[in-house]
Chains A and B, each alone.
Chain A
Amino acid sequence: MSFKLMGAVMALGLSATIATAQDYPSKEIQGIIQWGAGGSTDTVMRSVTPHAEAALGGTVVMQNMTGAVGAIALNYVVDADADGYTLLMGAENPMIYKVMGLGEEDYSAFTPINLLARGTAMLVANNDAPFDDYAGMLAYIAANPGELKLGATGPGGLPSVITAMMNAVEGDLDVIAVPYDGDGPALTALQGGAIDVMPAVLGAAVEAIRAGSIKPILIFDTQTNATLPDVQIATDANAAYATYLPWGPFFGVFAKNGTPDDVIAKLTAAYATAAEHPDFVALMDSRGFTMMNISGAEADAFLTKWQQGTAWLLDDAGLTQASPTAFGIARPSN
C-alpha cells in the first residue's frame, strides 16, 4: 500500500464528501451519546434532537455508548469519518481525560456544534445532619475532623472538582469521601443517611429539596439562583470562590475536526433553532440547567476557559495523573 494510493483514496473520499455536502443530510446521522439511557446527558440529547431533526430535514439515530467515563464513545467518533454523519453527544468529562490519564483525545479533536446548557453545582445535606448552612458545616468539620461523609463519584467527577474548590478556598477540609458510581446513587445514599453531604448538580437534587427530603447548603454560583432563591451562594459565603466560578458541567453536540464547513454550518443552524424550542427551554429550566446555546468561537472560548480552570484545580488538589502543562493547558490568568 503506497502513500500515493492512500492519498488517492482519501482524495476520493474527500471529493465524495464535497459532492454530498450540498444535499446533506442524504442519509441517517448517527448520534453517539456518551452516557447511559435515562441519565442527564441522555435526557438532554433525546429532547433537543427531535427539534434539530425537524430543522435539518433529516434523521438522527441516537445510540448510548457507555464505558470508561465516556471515552469509548469519544474514541468511536474520533475513529469515524469526518463527514458529519457521526456526531458526539457528550458532557464535560472529555475536557479532563488527558490530565486524568483517561484517554489521549478530548474536545480539541472536535468542532462544537452547540454547547446547549450548563448545570449549577450545589451542596446538599441529609436532613439529620447537625447543621443547616455552609458556615455550620465548616464549623462541624472543624469540630469533628474526619467524621463528615462527603459523597464522591471518582476523580474528575463533579464532586471531586467541587471538593478541590472547597479545599482551595477554605483550606484542607478533613472529611471522608465515599465514592459512588454516579450522582443518582449518591443522592439516594444521601437520603438514606449513608453519606452526610453531597456535591451534586442542582437539577438532580432539586425535586428532593422541594419535597423536603434533603436540605440545600450552598449553591456554587456568583448570582442568586432563580430556582432556589433562598439558598446561599458561594461567593457570598467566601469571596475567594469568584476565582473559580461560574463553573458547572455542560452538555454539547460535537462533530469531528475536518468536517466540511457547510455541513458544520447546517448542523449548527439546526441545533441553534432546536435549542430555542419552548419545550426544550422549559425542560432545561425545570431541571435547573442554564441555557447556553453557543457555537463557533464563543463555544471554543468557553471550552478553553473551562478546561484551564478545572484541570489546574484538579492538579493543585493532587488528583491528576499528568500536569496540564504537558498538554499545553495554560493556568487561568486571573
Chain B
Amino acid sequence: MDTVLAILTVFTQPQLLLLVALGTFAGIYIGAIPGLSVTMAVSILISFTFSWDVYPAISLMVGIYMGGVYGGSRTAILLNIPGSPSAIATAMDGYPMAQKGQAGQAIGVTTVMSFFGGLIGIVVLALAAPFVSAFALSFQPRDYMLLAILGILLVGSLSSGSLVKGIFAGAFGIAIGAVGRDPLTFAERFTFDLRLMEGGISFIAVMIGMFGVSEALQQLHNVDKRAVRQKIDKIIPSFSTIKTYLPLSLQTSSIGVIIGALPGTGGDIAALMAYDHAKRVTKNPEIPFGQGAMEGLVAPETANNAAVGGAFIPMMTLGIPGDAVTAIMIGALFIHGLNPGPMLMIDQPDMFWFIVGALLTANVFMLIFGLTGIKIFTKIVEMPRSIIIPLILLLSIVGAYAVNNAITDVYWMLGFGIFGYFMRHYGYPLGPVILGIILSRMLDDNWRRAIISEREDLGRFFEGILTSPLSLTLFVAVILIFVSQTPIWRAAKTRLLGKATS
C-alpha cells in the first residue's frame, strides 16, 4: 500500500506533475538539438534546483532524461542529424522515410515504440531491480571487452555498400577514440605533442560534424530542389502495426534494459545493438534496411528508452551510475542530503518508488507531447533548403561549443564535418566511425584490464573465458556472428539450403 502511495506521489501534488511535464517537454527539445545533451541539462539543473526540495528537483530531472532520450530521434528522422548519440541508428531508416514523405508516420511509430520501450524499462526497474543489478555487477573486464567486440562486429550492419570501406571507417573511429592522454596510464597517444590534442577529441563534436555539417554540405547539392511534401494523415500507428512489431520490440527492449543497467554502457550502444539484432532476426523486411524499414526504427527507439529504466537499476540499488545522466543524479541526491547507495532502497524505499512513479509519468507525457507536435515538426523538412542549411550549421556550432565550452571542439566539429562530406562522396559509411569512437575506450581499457588481471598470460585469459558461463556465452556469440559474416559461411549455407529444397 505504501508502495502504491509512493508511486502516486507525483499525482497527488499538482506541482510535481507540472514539473515532470515541463521536464519532459523541455527534454524533447534539448534531446532534439544536436549538442544540447541531457547530461548537460541535468548538470545545470543541479545548481538551479539547489534550494528546492528533493522531489521537485528529481521530478524535473527525470522528465528531462526521459524526454531527451526520445527527442534525439526527431532531428535524426527529419534532418538526418541525430540529436544525441543514442539516435544514430534511428537516422539510418528514419531519414529515408522522411525523404519519401513519411516523416509523420516515422515519428508516430518512433513515439509509440519509445513509450513501449520506456515502459518495459520501468517495469523491469520496479520488479526486478535487485536481480538485474546483481547480474550487471557480475560482468568482468573480459566480458565488457567481448561486448565491445560484439559491438564492433556491427560494422557489417551499419555499412550499406562496401564492407571493406565500413571496416576502414570503423578502424578510423577506434583510432580517433584513442587520441589524447590514456586514462589508465596518462601516456599521450596520437597527440603529436600538441596541447589541444591532450584532452582527446570530443566524441560529440565528431558526431555533430560528421552528421550535421556534412549533411548540410550534402544538401547544398540540391539547394534548388523542392522539398518533399510530407503526408501527415497517418501519424498514430494503427493497432495492427504495433502488434506486428511487438515481438521484435520486446526483444530489443530487453537488450536496452540490460545494456542500460551495465555501468559504463548506455543508450547509444543499446540502440546500435538493437538495430543489428533487428536486422539479423527480420528475415524479409517489407522495405530493405537502410531504405526506410520500420523495424530499423522500432529496434533502436525501444532499446534506448528501455535503457533509461535500466540505467536507474544500479543507481537505485547500489548507488552505482548506469550512465552519465544517472551519475549526475547521484550527485544531486547527495546534495539534497540523501545517501545514494545500497542502503537507499532499505532506508528510503519511498524515494525508489517515487522515481518509478516519476518515470512512468514522464513516459506518458512523452507519448502525449510526442504525438501532438508532429504536424509542426514535419514542416521543418518542408522548409526551403536555403533556410535549413544555415540553421543546421548554426545549431552544429552552438552544440559543439556547448559540450565543453571549448572553441577547439568547434574546430574539430567543422574539420570532421568537411572530412565526413568527402567520406560520403567516396562511399565510406559514417555510422561505423561513430561506432568505433564509442567502443574504442571500452575495448581498449577492458582488454588491458582483463589481461593485466591475468598477469599478462593469454593462457590464463582464455581459461577465464572458458570457465565463466557469461564470458563463454559472449565468446560463442562473437564467434558465431563473426563466422556468419564470412563468405565461407554464406557459401555453406546456400549449399545446405539448396540441398534441402532440391
Contact = CB atoms under 8 A, between A and B. Distances in A.
Interface of A: 36-39, 42-43, 46-47, 49-50, 62-69, 71-72, 75, 100, 102, 146, 149, 154-156, 176-181, 184-185, 187-189, 191-195, 206-208, 210-211, 213, 279, 282-283, 286-287
Contact of B50 (A42, A50, A75, A191): A50
Interface stretch (B120-128, B279-287, B302-310, B333-341): B333-341
A43 B455 CA distance: 37
A38 B137 contact: no
Nearest to B451: A178
15 contacts: A37-B46, A37-B328, A38-B329, A47-B335, A63-B405, A72-B199, A189-B141, A192-B137, A192-B140, A207-B340, A207-B343, A210-B342, A211-B341, A211-B346, A287-B334
A68 B331 contact: no
A43 B140 CA distance: 29
Contact of A176 (B137, B184, B453): B453
Interface in B445-463: 445, 448-449, 452-453, 455
A140 to B, nearest CB: 16
B139 A37 contact: no
A102 B404 contact: no
Contacts of A155: 185-186
B408 to A, nearest CB: 10
B160 interface: no
B51 A50 contact: yes
Nearest to B326: A38
Contacts of B406: 65
Nearest to B142: A194
B371 interface: no
Contacts of B43: 37-38, 42, 64
Nearest to A152: B184
Contact of A188 (B42, B137, B346): B137
A207 B328 contact: no
The 9 closest A-B CB pairs, nearest first, are A207-B341, A67-B199, A211-B342, A37-B43, A179-B184, A38-B327, A38-B331, A38-B328, A181-B183
A207 B137 CA distance: 17
B138 interface: yes
Interface in B320-359: 320-321, 324, 327-331, 334-335, 337, 339-343, 346
A71 B198 contact: yes
**Interface size of B as a range:** 35 or more
B200 interface: yes
Contact of A211 (B47, B314, B343): B343
Highest count of chain B CB atoms <10 Å: which of A192, A206, A208, A213: A192
A194 B186 contact: no
B339 A283 contact: no
Interface of B: 39, 42-43, 46-47, 50-51, 137-141, 180-181, 183-186, 195, 198-200, 263-264, 314, 318-321, 324, 327-331, 334-335, 337, 339-343, 346, 404-406, 445, 448-449, 452-453, 455
A43 B331 contact: yes
A191 B318 contact: yes
B183 A154 contact: yes
Contacts of B195: 75
Contacts of A66: 199, 404
B263 A185 contact: yes
B309 to A, nearest CB: 19
B320 A184 contact: yes
Nearest to B186: A154
A194 B140 contact: yes
B453 A149 contact: yes
Contacts of A63: 405
Nearest to B51: A50
Given A37-B327, A50-B47, A213 B318 contact: yes
B445 A181 contact: yes
B341 A208 contact: yes
A192 B138 contact: yes
B50 A46 contact: yes
Given A181-B445, A194-B449, A210 B341 contact: yes
Highest count of chain A CB atoms <10 Å: which of B39, B321, B335, B339: B335
A177 B340 CA distance: 28
Nearest to A182: B183
Contacts of B453: 149, 176, 178, 194-195
Highest count of chain B CB atoms <10 Å: which of A39, A146, A194, A286: A194
A69 B181 contact: yes
B191 to A, nearest CB: 10
A181 B449 contact: no
A146 B455 contact: yes
A46 B46 contact: yes
Contacts of B327: 36-39, 184
Contacts of B320: 184, 187-188, 191
A113 to B, nearest CB: 19
Nearest to A157: B186
A191 B139 CA distance: 11
Highest count of chain B CB atoms <10 Å: which of A62, A72, A146, A156: A72
Contacts of A208: 318-319, 341-342
A239 B321 CA distance: 38
B339 A176 contact: no
Given A192-B138, A283-B335, 7 more contacts: A43-B334, A66-B404, A67-B200, A155-B185, A156-B186, A181-B184, A286-B337
A50 B47 CA distance: 8
Contacts of A210: 341-343
B141 A194 contact: yes
B185 A68 contact: no
Contacts of B198: 67-68, 71-72
Contacts of A193: 138, 140
B403 to A, nearest CB: 11
A36 B403 CA distance: 12
Contacts of A195: 453
Contact of B180 (A43, A65, A67): A67
Nearest to B182: A154
Contacts of A156: 186
B404 A65 contact: yes
A38 B330 contact: yes
Contacts of A177: 452
Contact of A286 (B186, B329, B339, B346): B339
Nearest to B332: A38
